[in-house]
Amino acid sequence: MDVSGSLEKCIRVIVFINCNDDKKVKHLYLKNAKLLRPDLLNIKVAIDGPAGAGKSTVAKKLAEKLNFTYIDTGAMYRALTYKTIIEDIDINNKDKIVELASKIDIKLEGDRVLLDGVDITNEIRTPIVSERVSLISKISEVREIMVNLQKQLANDGSVIMDGRDIATVVMPNAQFKFFLTASAEVRAMRRYNELVEKKISVNYDDILRDIKKRDKIDTERDIAPLKKSDDSIVIDTSDMTIEEVVCKMYDIIASI
């Protein structure tokens, strides 16, 4: 059969199998056409990296391109952090924070993050949340609760999940593992531009300081520290556009 010149994501061949049940067929998806059926592939993509490396933006766009489910684990920790702020829970009150984590109702619906049914998508990206989230996420009991939830979510079909310990803890058996990085200065400028665009008053130097502080906390914590897994593909995004990063990762995944 000649299929030269056909659209690579629009070809499906039905092959009748020579067996007792003459109604049984086998579907063969040619080239990238198989990406049209993520439910059949059950592919797991883990994306790790420090704050501001572009993980969430890249993961979201890549998931749309591949038609995979996107799970923003960072948003889950941010939602919990935001909850501690609005309930005025002391950052050192570990027992209260763990209790809150065990009861919190977080839902991820596309781009939106819902806390107890309320959309808090913008609220969790404020500087005060960014400043506190690493302190809360390093609590071992909190991480255990969140990781268990993330593992449950990862079982549902083809997923892309980003965070700081996805390839090492949450999805160690993921078929594709990426580690995105960039200089602290580039990451701080990205966060600064993101917040300014949302009309949030911020100072670049303060953000750079917070980025470096968070890097230190994330890499030195005892429980699931930020580190690259041995089999992760490292991508330095410092001089790359979001589209370039997405295309690079897509090409790697589509080569299966």
Does 57 appear as a known binding residue?
Answer: yes
For residues 126 and 131, what is the distance between their CA atoms, to the nearest angstrom? Answer: 9
Please tell me whether residue 127 adopts helix, strand or coil conformation.
helix
Please tell me whether 56 is known to bind a ligand: yes
157 touches 21 (CB < 8 A): no
Domain boundaries, the chain: 1-34, 41-254
Long-range contacts of 247-256 (CB under 8 A, 24+ apart): 249/45, 249/58, 249/62, 249/176, 249/178, 250/62, 250/65, 250/66, 252/176, 253/43, 253/45, 253/62, 253/66, 253/176, 254/32, 254/35, 256/34, 256/41, 256/43, 256/175
Flag whether 54 is marked binding. Answer: yes
Q: Output the six-digit token pair for 84.
A: 């501690």
pLDDT of residue 30: 46
pLDDT at 39: 53
**Which strands make up the sheet holding 106-109, listed edge to edge?**
106-109, 112-115, 118-119
**Can you give the pLDDT at residue 199?**
87
Contacts of 121 (CB under 8 A, 6+ apart): 111, 112, 113
Phi and psi (nearest 5°) for 161?
Answer: -130, 135
Q: Is 157 annotated as a binding residue?
A: no
- The residue assigned the tokens 């609220």 is 123
Distance, in Å, from the CA atom of 178 to the CA atom of 191, rounded to the nearest integer, reads 21
Q: What are phi and psi of 72, to 5 degrees?
A: -90, 95
Q: What is the pLDDT of residue 109?
A: 86
Report whether CATH 3.40.50.300 matches the domain 41-254: yes
pLDDT average per 10 residues of sequence, the chain (256 residues): 49 45 45 54 93 92 94 94 97 96 91 93 92 91 94 90 93 97 96 90 94 91 86 96 96 89
Report the pLDDT value the prediction gives residue 16, as an integer from 0 to 100: 43
Q: Is 79 annotated to bind ligand? A: no
The per-residue b/e assignment along 112-134, b for 16 or more CB within 10 angstroms, e otherwise, is ebebeeeebbebbbbbebbebbb
117 annotated to a ligand binding site: no
The pair of structure tokens assigned to 193 is 């531009």
Query: What pLDDT is attached to residue 4?
Result: 52
Cα 28 off chain centre by? 30
Q: Is 49 annotated as a binding residue?
A: yes
Determine if residue 127 is labeled as part of a ligand binding site: no
55 assigned to a ligand binding site: yes
